[in-house]
Amino acid sequence: MNTIPVITLDGPAASGKGTVAELVARELGFHYLDSGALYRIATLAALKAGVDPADSEGLTAVAEKLSPVFENGRILLEGEDVTLAIRSEEVSRATSKVAVVPGVRRALFDLQRRAARAPGLVADGRDMGTVVFPEAPLKVFLTASARVRAERRYKQLTARGETADLDLLTKDLEERDRRDRERAEAPLKPAADARLLDTTEMGIEEAVKKVLDWWTTAR
């Protein structure tokens, strides 16, 4: 495990970590892990199964049975393409509640660790550097103001033809941030040796270049 180079990018929702991580992985020829997708998949599966978000045991049981397939940019769950479904606002709102369940986090931990394969991995999430890959030689924590992150989310939703309210999105992100920071297991916080990257007034290309520069130094 320690021979596989890993870069972790953690941060709150809509901070840009997914886009930056994917582009960095592409530039380096590394594999890419969207850990948030796993939690979204678990959430969607629970919603489909009618499991109450307050039912920790039920949510854990669902997570333990997950066997998603990542194929050519698509995500398949039990043969169904859920690539777009896991990005719905309903799933987005519920995911942060599902993600605080210790049993769910334990069930998905092994799936995430197994994603580290040669020649390397770029992993984004909320606890990649603090919990899942604490040995990673480069850990980055991305952040941005809640309003800017809400605006990014608003553009994503409207581009898909979904209706959205910017003020409500801002409040929702602030509440999700609070839950993520205050959860008992693997709270959202930068690793002690993480590099901080504020993307509030930064474009994607600039953020990608910064991470690549840090990687050149780290290795």
Task: Tell me the C-alpha distance between 112 and 82, whole Å.
Answer: 19
Binding residues: 11-19
Task: Using CB atoms within 10 Å of the CB of residue 101, give its burial: 0 to 12 exposed, 13 to 18 middle, 19+ buried.
Answer: buried
Between 35-49 and 89-98, two packed helices, what is the crossing angle to 10 degrees?
A: 100
Per DSSP, the residues of 123-181 read EEESSIIIII-TT-SEEEEEE--HHHHHHHHHHHHHHTT----HHHHHHHHHHHHHHHH
Binding residues for ATP: 11-19
Here the tokens at position 171 are 């409040």
Cα 180 to chain centroid, rounded: 12
